[in-house]
Amino acid sequence: MSALLDLQNVSVAIGSAHLLDGVSLRLERGQTLGLVGESGSGKSLTAMAAMGLLPLIGGRVSAGTVRFDGQDLASLTDAQRRALRGRRIGFVTQNPMTALDPVQRIGAQIDVVSRLHLGLTKHAARARTLDLLTQLRIPEAAAVAEAWPHQLSGGMKQRIVIAMALAGDPELIVADEPTTALDVTVQAQIIQILAGLVREKGVALLLITHDMGVVAQICDRVAVLYAGRLAEEGPVAPIFAAPQHPYTAALINCIPQEGMARGTLRGIPGAVPSARQYPSGCRFHPRCVKATAECATHIPPLTQRGDGQAACLHLPEIAP
């Protein structure tokens, strides 16, 4: 069976800067793929590539293919790609405060998606909007539809953005750090809603996050990016139990956990390099605890590990 979203060896460049280098990902219907890594790792770029939105920021896929439901995005016309977004691919942005039009009522902003993409009448579109708001457990949906964005709280606005993403009845939802701007208790609500959509509607969810906790709780697979390359990718349980790549292990160890003694939290020394100063060899080697001289000269190939893959010259021995 072909994956709903299939990135093969995708490289992305903006001008002369090569930002993403040979990233491969697959996402099936009814599955959640977490995309993690520090800021500047290329998470959002990967999502932009998956939605064919790179031209918007002056970028292009310089190598590899992005397939949605078997179709190569590069073979589509602009109009065809536009028809895909909103209809079959829904997008939830990071900051709900800026994602809504401040001078349009909430209802109208959601209605327009189903009118445009599903060809619904004004009446039918509004009925669908109210239905979506109710599904997202928004109290007094009719009143909210008449409200202006500034009258709603952050958590409520993010639900509106999710409703807009759902209005075209998409098969894939791309959510770029959907809870970063929200309070802790509201974050939990939003993550629950997204996880519920995968469970109940069978949509595929590409979730960009910096929270390894969220990945552990709701994702099926996780892809770890570092400096524009895939460090590791695979099913969540084995990766958390025994991370193959030192970067994955380091990311997991950054999270303070219950019962951890003070002084045992280890950060990752240094910072993500900028795209113009990527180190030679393995790009993580200057920050890596396992690095050897070889790591500075050899680019580690992606190696199959169990049901996943990792790119490191010092992969642990596989238990017999």
Spatial separation of the C-alpha atoms in residues 69 and 6, rounded to whole Å: 8
Strands 221-226, 229-235: pairing kind: antiparallel
Least distance in angstroms from the C-beta of 221 to other proteins: 11
- 163 binds other proteins, rule: CB under 8 A: no
Which of 57, 74, 142, 265 contacts other proteins by CB under 8 A? Answer: 265
Residue with smaller CB distance to other proteins, 114 or 187: 187
The encoded tokens of residue 266 equal 């280890």
User: Dihedral, CA atoms, 119, 120, 125, 131, nearest 10 degrees?
Assistant: -100
The encoded tokens of residue 52 equal 């064919």
Non-local CB neighbours of 305 within 8 Å, separated by 6+ positions: 234, 244, 315, 318
Whose tokens are 């109210």? That residue is 130
- 269 binds other proteins, rule: CB under 8 A: yes
Q: Which range touches other proteins (CB under 8 A), out of 78-86, 122-130, 198-206, 266-274?
A: 266-274
Spatial separation of the C-alpha atoms in residues 82 and 178, rounded to whole Å: 22
Least distance in angstroms from the C-beta of 189 to other proteins: 4
Which of 267, 277, 319, 320 contacts other proteins by CB under 8 A? Answer: 267
Residue with smaller CB distance to other proteins, 20 or 272: 272
Contacts to other proteins from residues 23-42, by CB under 8 A: 38-39
- 318 binds other proteins, rule: CB under 8 A: no
Spatial separation of the C-alpha atoms in residues 279 and 4, rounded to whole Å: 34
Residues at the site binding other proteins, with contacts judged by CB under 8 A: 38-39, 137, 153, 155-156, 183-189, 191-192, 210-218, 236-237, 240-241, 250-260, 262-263, 265-269, 271-272
